[in-house]
Structure 1
Amino acid sequence: MEKMERKKLLFVSLMMFSMFFGAGNLIFPPLLGQLAGTNMLVGILGFLISAVGLPILAIAVVAKTGGLHILASYVHPKFAIIFTMLIYLSIGPLLGIPRAASLAFEMGISPFLSATVAKSNIPLFIYTLVYFGIAYWLCKSPTKLVDRFGKVLTPTLLVLILSIFVFSLFKPIGILGGPTGDYRNAPLLKGFLEGYMTMDAIAALNFGIVISMTLKEMGVKTEKGLISSTIKAGSIAGLLLSIIYGILAYLGAVSQTVFGPTENGAKILTNVVFHLFGQKGSVLLGIIFSLACLTTSVGLLTSCSQYFTKLMPKISYRAWITILSISSMIFANIGLTQILKFSVPLLTAIYPMAIVLMILGFLNDFFKGSSYVYLFAMICTSFVSILQSLGEFGIRVKVLNYLPFYSKGLGWTIPAISGVILGIIYSSLSKKEFGKNQMKFYIRKEDKA
């Protein structure tokens, strides 16, 4: 098994950090801190379990199985094609990438525009044209992402965020206030649910292909070497994410008694930065949001383009990044409100399935790789998640309200566990041996060849 140099491993970890750390990751923790108050530590612990633990688990599973498509094929080959395509489209050009570009504009450019200019669509168009032009240039050479992200962009982003924290120590903002809402009685669960809503686990499934390719370029060729290096780099990236999330939650917590209740994390950060640096703070905040959004967009564009290149090899990788960059720019200019009407229900449907799939991949040896376990668990999970997504369109099934944790958005958990149990029982009773996934492992060998 190859061993990577510590320096190279660190740079890969920084690249992974930057791909995960987008605008949503900037604004969730400060709001958590403000609402949790004195219960911040318990709340952030729950947040870290889902916002850091699940993505690292996803990275490990993707490395272990050889990719999202192969993992999904354990359920059924046709399911693998449809599900994987939906994952890449939803977290990519249909929502994740346009949302990142729009938020970068709102936080980095919009504050400097006059009221008259802000009403025009031209500034957003010009910004997204430049934004996706830079993203396209970075995506052209995915093997250079370690150098560009790990050595330049990520360290810059980390220094800027740490500078805010350091200044807050010399110029105290306020004190911790009392917890509000669900953070009073169930801060751990509430924090978990907030981290769950970042949906970084789906992003991790997407980024697996980029990470694997990067490690291979660095000389890691064996399966054991790829798995080991991926998990090590993911753990370091997870540690960095945990530190930054803790800092952002702290800034939100100490702002409560000074600025009072604030509607979102972006506004909290704005108040904190202006308090510490004055009007010049808007420049700092704009740079932070722009860097965070850009690196995430590049990671998503790269992973989506590489997937679709494998799916349709007649269209080149550069053609795909061109197609996805242009389509993402168009969606960013159409408006997120319209995109969310379609994309959020789609994510509501597929995100629980993605979580169950990665957990099953991690526990594959426990149930001896039985295809029935994958199939039954996915049927039970998808039944609930799809019906729940229909609720976004006003089509509600009242019987689902009786499911445990349904009101918290976790109604799929008990059905998923039930599906696993049914799959294990059915597999043990069946005389046919479908449990070894021979066809799937054959796909893995073909993929390596």
Structure 2
Amino acid sequence: MELPEKKLSTRDYVVIASLLFGLFFGAGNLIFPLHLGQLAGANWFPAMLGFLVTAVALPLLGVLAIAATHAEGVYDIGRPLGGVFALVFMVLIHATIGPMFGTPRTATVSFTTGVLPMLPKDWQQGGLLVFSALFFGAAFFLSYKERKITTAVGKVLNPIFLVLLFFVFFVGYLHPMGNPAAQTVTAAYKNGSFMNGFLQGYNTMDALAALAFGVTVVTAVRGLGLKNDDHVAKATAKAGVMATSFIGLIYVALIVLGSMSLAHFKLSPEGGTAFNQVVTYYFGTAGHAVLATLLTLTCLTTAVGLVAAFAQDFHRHFPKVSYRAWLALTSFLSFLTANFGLEQIIAWSVPMLMFLYPFSMVLILMSVFGKAFHHDPVVYRVVVAFTTVPAVLDMFAAFPAVVSQSAVGLALHSFQLHYLPFAAMGLGWLVPAAVGLVIGLVAHTVKTRRATALAKVQAEQN
């Protein structure tokens, strides 16, 4: 007789939510909202709303997409479009948030912002080499046993990080630097604060990460004793709501803190400098140590999730290479890329994000709401086909000047601005994708009616 399946306790849900939080919340999740607060100034509220759409709501939908479709990773989300598309999409997502950009950024941000200010100038390049080697060595070690990832991230690293972060919040709001409603607004945020906040949310990479982390979270949920797919899906969704809601609250606190900091500091070039200014203001020289610890902890939790998700998904689809071999490969490649430096990584990651985010958004939405059209591949194909050209144009427009300001780049951008609504906002894909959805749904309806009519005729003949 089969025993009834275990029911997860509240503590189990908290552990899974903590795992998700740790996987999502990296250095970018600290520095981008803080910098957004400085950019938006008094207009922090609409900018915050836009940021929460792409940095909280969309990643939550990504988790729900994994849960609703009983998927275990990126491949399953793209599977309605065929095996080749699903495999290419999986490789591009993992490469972008993995060893090409996302994972190396976890080391370079924590080093550049937290550690570098404490080093002598002649130690800087060698310091990054040593720090990144130790950093990815630790990520490899913590990810080595798949079943131990939940313990490493959810039970150990997160609590330490959160205690430090909320100590910063406590002091910052107990002694506010200024009134956020009275701060200067940069030109871009005077009229377009919501849309600029929306696009800033891309930088967190969390919508892409939500798809990639699916296999890690599902593995962790099953490790707690759940086997039934429906129960695993519900547990994943519930933990996703808990984790992303908590992340949203932290974003709000960071954005307001960033806006308040303008009362004492000029607009910083990026969020790492802004965070350094804030902790130095409140804690003096000791602030550097607090900042370095905060960034290293949160970056390490994200790095653990990224290298593990890469290794799990690639082992699943290329099983001749073991999980640990894939883990070693992605850790080593991330170490190499990290040593190109933070500026180069960010400069070349933005074009890939502008290319992949439209596909991710439409696939997430169709996965969540796909029951309405029975996940018909026809709808998927038409929507993705209509999204492709605008996504490619967005990518070219976001490339560094050597590409975007070339004759070809300028010609493509001119075409994009002339023919695609909202292209100037970085949303040139929106209208084509909507048109593709309408066409796809019409095609699905026609196909369904024809199949129903044919079945009725056959029934009458029999």
Q: TM-score, normalised by structure 1?
A: 0.92
Preserved contact between residue 359 and residue 387 of structure 2 (Cα < 8 Å): yes
2:241 paired with 1:235: yes
Partner of 1:440 in structure 2?
Answer: none
- How far residue 17 of structure 1 moved from its aligned partner, in angstroms, is 0.6
Pick from 175, 183, 190: which aligns with 1:184? 190
| 1:141 aligned onto 2:145 | yes
Q: What SS does the aligned partner of 2:81 have?
A: coil
How far apart are the structure 2 equivalents of 1:122 and 1:112? 14
Letter in 2 for 1:211: V
**Which residue does 1:274 correspond to in 2?**
280
> CA contact under 8 A between 1:370 and 1:434: conserved in structure 2?
no
| Alignment-derived partner of residue 48 in structure 1 | 52
Report the CA distance shift for 1:74/1:432 in structure 2 as closer, same or farther (over 3 A). farther
Partner of 1:444 in structure 2? none
Q: Which of 345, 351, 360 is the aligned partner of 2:351? A: 345
In the TM superposition, 1:37-436 aligns within 5 A as: 37-65=41-69, 66-67=71-72, 68-118=74-124, 121-176=125-180, 177-339=183-345, 343-391=349-397, 392=399, 393-394=403-404, 395=409, 396-397=411-412, 398-402=414-418, 403-430=420-447
Code of the aligned partner of 2:48 = I
Alignment-derived partner of residue 457 in structure 2: none
Measured after TM superposition, the shift of residue 370 of structure 1 is 1.7
Alpha-carbon contact 2:109-2:342 (below 8 Å) kept: no
The match for 1:31 among 22, 28, 35 is 35
Offset of 1:371 from its aligned partner? 1.1
Q: Aligned-pair distance for 1:170?
A: 3.4
Alpha carbons 1:56, 1:204 under 8 Å: kept: yes
Stretch moving more, 293-302 or 258-267? 258-267
1:47 and 1:32 map into 2 onto residues whose CA distance is 9
| Structure 2 gap ranges (5+) | 453-462
Structure 1 pair 390–188 and aligned structure 2 pair: CA distance change class (3 A):
closer
Counterpart code for 1:17 = F
Q: Which amino acid aligns with 2:435?
A: S
Shift of 1:337: 4.8
Greater mean deviation of Cα atoms: 181-190 or 56-65: 181-190
Matched residue SS, 1:258? coil
Pairing partner for 1:15 from 9, 16, 19: 19
Greater mean deviation of Cα atoms: 297-306 or 404-413: 404-413
Change (3 A) 1:210 1:253: same
> What is the CA distance between 1:330 and its match in structure 2?
1.0
Greater shift in the superposed pair: 193-202 or 151-160 = 193-202
Point out where structure 1 has 5 or more consecutive residues left out of the alignment: 436-449
CA contact (8 A) 2:202 2:353 kept: no
After superposition, the Cα gap between the structure-2 partners of 1:365 and 1:200, relative to the gap in structure 1 and judged at 3 Å, is same
- d(CA) in 2 for partners of 1:364 and 1:194? 28
Mapped to 2, the partners of 1:100 and 1:357 lie a distance apart of: 26
Q: Which residue of 2 aligns with 1:439?
A: none
1:85 to partner: Cα distance: 1.1
**Alpha-carbon deviations, 1:365-397, whole Å to 9, x = none?**
122322111001001101111132233223242
Q: Conserved in 1, the CA contact under 8 Å of 2:104 and 2:335?
A: yes
SS of residue paired to 2:191: coil
CA distance in 2: counterparts of 1:36 and 1:348, whole angstroms:
22
Aligned counterpart, 2:458: none
Q: Relative to structure 1, is the Cα distance of residues 428 and 122 closer, same or farther in structure 2, using a 3 angstrom cutoff?
A: same
Aligned-partner Cα distance in 2 for 1:237–1:339: 28
Equivalent pair of 1:47/1:192 in contact (CA under 8 Å)? yes
**Which region of structure 1 is more displaced relative to structure 2, 6-15 or 394-403?**
394-403
Identity of aligned residues (%): 35
Moved more, 168-177 or 228-237: 168-177
Deviations 1:39-81 (A, max 9, x none): 3233212211210000010011012221321221101221111
Kept in 1: contact 2:47–2:198 (CA 8 A): yes
SS of the residue corresponding to residue 60 of structure 2 reads helix
Task: Choose 310-319 or 183-192, whichever is displaced more.
Answer: 183-192
State how far apart, in whole Å, the 2-side matches of 1:75 and 1:170 are. 53
Q: Which residue of 2 aligns with 1:438?
A: none
Distance in structure 1 (CA, Å) of the matches to 2:41 and 2:130: 40
Moved over 6 A (4+): 431-435
Letter of the aligned partner of 1:106 in structure 2? T
Say if 2:48 and 2:252, in contact at 8 Å, map to a contact too.
Answer: yes
Whole-angstrom CA distance in 2 between matches of 1:434 and 1:280: 71
For residue 220 of structure 1, report the CA deviation from its aligned partner.
Answer: 1.4
The answer (yes or no) to whether the contact 1:42–1:187 under 8 Å persists in 2 is: yes
Q: Distance in 2 between matches of 1:250 and 1:114?
A: 33
Q: Please name the residue that 1:446 is paired with.
A: none
Whole-angstrom distance in 2 between the partners of 1:381 and 1:128: 37
Cα separation, partners in 2 of 1:296 and 1:321, compared to 1, 3 Å: same
Shift of 1:292: 1.2
Q: Quote the offset at 1:117 in angstroms.
A: 2.1
Give the number of equivalent residue pairs.
433
Could you report, residue by residue, the CA deviation over 1:69-98 in whole angstroms, capped at 9, with x for unpaired residues? 122110122111111111111110111111
Aligned with 1:14: secondary structure?
helix
Match of 2:277, as an amino acid? N
